[in-house]
Structure 1
Amino acid sequence: MTTAIRSEFDLGIALTGHPEEAGRYEAELGAGWQIGGGVNGGLLLAVAGHALSLEHGQHPDPVSISGYYLSASTPGPATVRTEVLRTGRGLSTGTASLSQDGVERLRVVASHGDLGTVDGEVRTSATPPQLPPPDQCIGVEHAPKELIEQAALLERFDLRLDPATVGWALGQPSGQGRIQGWFRLADGREPDPLLLLLVADALPPVTFDLGLPGWAPTVELTVHLRAKPAPGWLRVVHSTRNLAGGYFEEDAEVWDSAGRLVAQSRQLARAPRPA
């Protein structure tokens, strides 16, 4: 008898219910999901979203989820406590709090539904980013050594960046504040709604393309999920239009292999501090 190997992502968001406290779950944040000084914000949002998925039952998929990052998370045990605020016919809304050693790291408010039942009608003026084929893009294996040292999670990804948006890696940032490319997990796990929460925060910070290397910690991240993604590569674009007062916004779009816009996000992050 063989045992199925679980994806690193599934292990990264795995939860164990507490036998004596309803709505409480225990997690183990892995060192492989670190970026800069803490665990990646998208992975943390997926952990909290997973907990709320378990609470909502008939509404398993996050539809709109917002997280406020209160302190940097570190590898190790974490506790997620949830509260269901409302259960409706199409959506359920709740909150989640992720903490470590009694210190709250993340507070989330989210509405969950069932993306498998959404209306298939689409009216949009949005268009997917035009990218060279994945084999003509720049893989993680070509990333600068200092970037990999800051972002262990990149080794979990099969990320292929558009050569037109990686001038920053050669000391030639475009100044446009845009990075885009192809994404899938290195272990072959297919995308689903919880993975999209990670993907919304998976690319290098767009401040790299502004000539500002370094860690850009997230203050707040909101993700809107529009459909369940089809199997295969995801196309992802991150961009910013405004850096001011030491903070910048980062907008993301995630398109699936069928050419559908499956997730949109916006986050506010702190600009990297001068070395």
Structure 2
Amino acid sequence: MTDLYGFDLATAVVPRPGDPSAYDAELHEGWRMHKAVNGGLLMALAGRVLAAELGGSSQGHPDPFAISAYYMSAALPGPATVRTETLKRGRSLSTGVASILQGGEERLRVMATYGDLDSHDASDVRTSATPPEMPPPEECAGREAAPPDFLKQAPILDRIDLRLDPATAGWTVGRPTGRGLVQGWFRLPDGREPDLLLLLLAADALPPTSFDFGIAGWTPTLELTVHVRAKPAPGWLRLKQSTRNFAHGYLEEDAEVWDSAGRLVAQSRQLARVLMPTQ
């Protein structure tokens, strides 16, 4: 039963009686990064509601294909409301929007296109992308390698099992490479296997690439888009995140999520603002 897992509890919703477009949720303290709940967790919460809305009929579309989120204010631990609207129902694709609100203030707005990945031919793949090369998980750096001050602000690290490639984790010991690259292994420590919703969390699970520039400030996401390409196989996910341009306090980050079968199962891009410790 998936409701035994922390991730599923953190993204659980309850339909509001008498209001078919509203769901009640609880944002958990344990998924916080700095002051705010992790952006990938919020996207997964909205994604779960949209899957129910767009995939509910006999010819529904339960799987996210493209999902874009705009983060308007920091989502804090506590009660929240998710509101949805279906914009279009088509033969192969449907589109909807979802908003997460707290105290009447909109924290996040998502627009997404959903379909049915099971209708795709799994052999129909042509790609030049290759999985990131890194040591096995047991030879990579876990949460114990993170600076103590960082751990105090990141209780989410107790909810995920993230192992960073030592070649991209020099910033943890004061030796950033300056390449703007972070990569590593990802899974949930409670044994929950990856699915499409977990891919949305994984796309925002790595530390910000600004750390690899030696910049230790908090990096809130302004916009995040995830393209889901396939249902992941069980086991570890491999994550790669990079930036090519950090300017004027903002950076873009491109991420890849690879499953244990060596398939590129999700891609993402986000724009984030780098706040210095005094901001």
* TM-score normalized by the length of structure 1: 0.97
Q: 2:235, 2:277 → 1: CA distance?
A: 38
The aligned counterpart of 1:113 is 115
Return closer, same or farther for 1:102/1:4 CA change in 2, 3 Å cut-off. Answer: closer
2:24 is the counterpart of 1:26? yes
The aligned counterpart of 2:133 is 130
CA deviations 1:194-234 (Å, max 9, x no partner) are: 01000000011110001001210000000000000000000
Q: 1:141, 1:247 → 2: CA distance?
A: 29
What's the CA shift for 1:147?
Answer: 1.5
% identity of equivalent residues:
63
The aligned counterpart of 1:67 is 69
Aligned residues: 273
The aligned counterpart of 2:82 is 80
CA deviations 1:179-198 (Å, max 9, x no partner) are: 00110001110000001000
CA deviations 1:38-70 (Å, max 9, x no partner) are: 000000001111111010122111110000000
Letter in 2 for 1:116: D
What's the CA shift for 1:271?
Answer: 1.3
Aligned counterpart for 2:147 among listed residues 124, 144, 148: 144
Any runs of at least 4 consecutive aligned residues in structure 1 with deviations exceeding 3 A, and if so which?
none
Q: Does the 8 Å CA contact 2:164/2:184 hold for their aligned counterparts?
A: yes
The aligned counterpart of 2:54 is 56
* TM-score normalized by the length of structure 2: 0.96
CA deviations 1:80-99 (Å, max 9, x no partner) are: 00000001111110000110
Q: Does the 8 Å CA contact 2:3/2:9 hold for their aligned counterparts?
A: no
What's the CA shift for 1:5?
Answer: 6.2
The aligned counterpart of 2:221 is 218
Q: 2:276, 2:121 → 1: CA distance?
A: 45
Q: Does the 8 Å CA contact 2:232/2:265 hold for their aligned counterparts?
A: yes
Deviation larger for 240-249 or 225-234 = 240-249
The aligned counterpart of 1:97 is 99
2:168 is the counterpart of 1:170? no
What's the CA shift for 1:19?
Answer: 1.1
SS of the residue corresponding to residue 127 of structure 1 reads coil
Q: 1:76, 1:100 → 2: CA distance?
A: 8
SS of the residue corresponding to residue 66 of structure 2 reads strand
What's the CA shift for 1:116?
Answer: 2.2
